[in-house]
Amino acid sequence: MSLVIDVPIEKVWEALADWESQGEWMLQTTVEVTSEIREGVGTSIAAFTGVGKLGIMDHMTVTSWNPPHVCDVLHTGKVIKGTGRFELTALSPQSTRFDWSEEVLAPRALFLLIAPGLYVGVRISLSTLRRHLQQRK
């Protein structure tokens, strides 16, 4: 998924790399860093998406870190496995394209159950991120 954010690339990267603050824009999600390393390759992150105790825990480890352009993660949880990528491209000094891609390997039944909501949730989350960053400039 892609979107254009009218904010400099460094500011967008700063928001994405602040793992714990992702809950401010990521729908129904709480994120915490679970390693001593807080940024860069080797950082471990746990993201819980859901309401109350009903939801999915997603454990990730950063595998590639190239600020302010690319961050790759490996999903290492019991249920969700696969890879993810945040990629930023400066379109101008004040505009950034944000591309978010995931290749998630999950049990087929779970995937069929959550895929439609996941797509809508990510779209809502990205719109919230854009609004959040553009209001801060």
CATH code at 103? 3.30.530.20
Q: For the whole model, what pTM was predicted?
A: 0.87
Q: Which two tokens stand for residue 95?
A: 């505009």
Residues 6+ apart with CB under 8 A from 20: 31, 32, 33
* pLDDT at site 111: 67
- For residue 11, give the nearest of 108, 130, 113, 118 by alpha carbon: 130
Residue 80 belongs to what domain range? 2-136
What's the domain count of the chain? 1
Helix (H, G, I), strand (E, B) or coil at 106: coil
Average pLDDT for 93-120:
80
Whether the predicted pLDDT of 108 surpasses 80:
no
Mean pLDDT, all residues of the chain: 91
Residues 6+ apart with CB under 8 A from 33: 19, 20, 43, 44, 45
Q: What is the bridge-based pairing of β-strands 54-66 and 44-51?
A: antiparallel
pLDDT, tens digit (0-9, with 9 covering 90-100), for 68-106: 999 999 999 888 899 999 999 999 999 999 999 988 887
pLDDT, tens digit (0-9, with 9 covering 90-100), for 13-36: 999 999 999 999 998 999 999 999
Task: Report whether 101 contacts 122 (CB < 8 A).
Answer: no
Task: Report whether 96 contacts 7 (CB < 8 A).
Answer: yes
